[in-house]
Structure 1
C-alpha cells in the first residue's frame, strides 16, 4: 500500500497529537524563527525536486519517480506541521523535535 493515500495523509496531518509542554514566549519565538529558516530551505528543496520530477516525467514518457513523489509528500506534510506550529494551531514542534511519522 502506498504511503501517500488520502487516509494516511489525513492522520499524518491532523491525527492525534502527543502531549507537549507549552514553551515560554521567548522559546516559542526562537523555534518560530528557526522553523521559518527551515521552511525557506524546504521550499528550495521542493522547487528542486519539482524540476527533477518534471524532467523524469518528460524523459520516461509520463511516469513519475515514485521515490521523489513520496519524498514530496513527506516534505509537504512536514511543511504543514511546521505551519501549524508557527500559527499556534498546534504546540507540537515538527521534526527534528518530534518523529517525522
Structure 2
C-alpha cells in the first residue's frame, strides 16, 4: 500500500524515465547491429566460397539465416529511428 504522503508519479516523470530506458535499449541494439553487420560480412564470404566450390549452389541454411538476420536488422532499424515501438529480438520473438 502506498504511503499517503507519497506523491503519485506524474505522466511527465514516467515519460522521462521511459525515454532514458529507450536510450539504453537503443545503445544495446546499436551494439547488436554492429555485431550483426560483421557476422553478415563473414556469412557473405562463406556463402560465396561455398557457391564457388559447389557449382553456384548456395547453402540453404546460410541463405535462410541471412534472411532471418535481414528481418531482424530491419526491425532493429525501425526501432532505432522511431518508426516502431516494437523492439527486436531478444525482447520479442525472432520471426
Please report the TM-score for the alignment, with normalisation by the length of structure 2.
Answer: 0.81
Runs of 5+ consecutive residues of structure 2 not aligned to the other structure: 1-14
- Aligned counterparts, 1:17-96, within 5 A: 24-96=18-90
- Specify the SS of the correspondent of 1:29: helix
- Specify the SS of the correspondent of 1:42: helix
Please report the TM-score for the alignment, with normalisation by the length of structure 1.
Answer: 0.77
Per-residue deviation, residues 21-73 of structure 1 (Å, max 9, x unmatched): x8711000000011000000000000000000000000001000011000000
Runs of 5+ consecutive residues of structure 1 not aligned to the other structure: 1-21
Q: Which has the higher contact order (CA 8 A, sep 6+)?
A: 1
- Rg larger in structure: 2
Number of equivalent positions: 80
What is the RMSD computed on CA atoms of the aligned residues?
1.3
Moved over 3 A (4+): none
